[in-house]
Amino acid sequence: MPVTVKHFDFRQGGKVHYKTEGNGQIMWGLFRYGKISSPDLIEFVSSFSDEAGNICKSPFPMEFPLEIFNQMTLSENNGITTLTLQGHPVNATPEQEATYYSIIANMEQGFAGTFNQLEEFLTKIQK
Question: In terms of Cα–Cα distance, which of 41, 31, 37 is closest to 7?
Answer: 31
Distance of CA 63 to the CA centre of its chain: 18
Eight-state DSSP code of residue 61: S
Tell me the CATH number for domain 3-126. Answer: 3.30.530.20
Q: Rounded to an integer, what is the distance from CA 95 to the centroid of its chain? A: 21
- 114, β-bridge pairs: none
Of 21-25, 83-87, 94-98, the least confident: 21-25
For the chain, the distance separating the N- and C-terminal CA atoms, rounded to the nearest angstrom, is: 27
Residue range 7-53, pLDDT digits in tens: 999 999 999 999 999 888 999 999 999 999 999 999 999 999 999 99
Residue 93 pLDDT grade (very low, low, confident, very high; cuts 50, 70, 90): very high
Give burial (CB, 10 Å; 0-12/13-18/19+) of 116: exposed
Strand, coil or helix: what is 105?
A: helix
Whether the pLDDT of residue 99 is over 90: the answer is yes
Say if CB 44 and CB 32 are below 8 A apart. Answer: yes
Whether pLDDT at 110 is above 90: no
The whole-model pTM stands at 0.89
Half-sphere exposure at residue 51, Cβ-oriented, CA atoms within 13 angstroms: 2
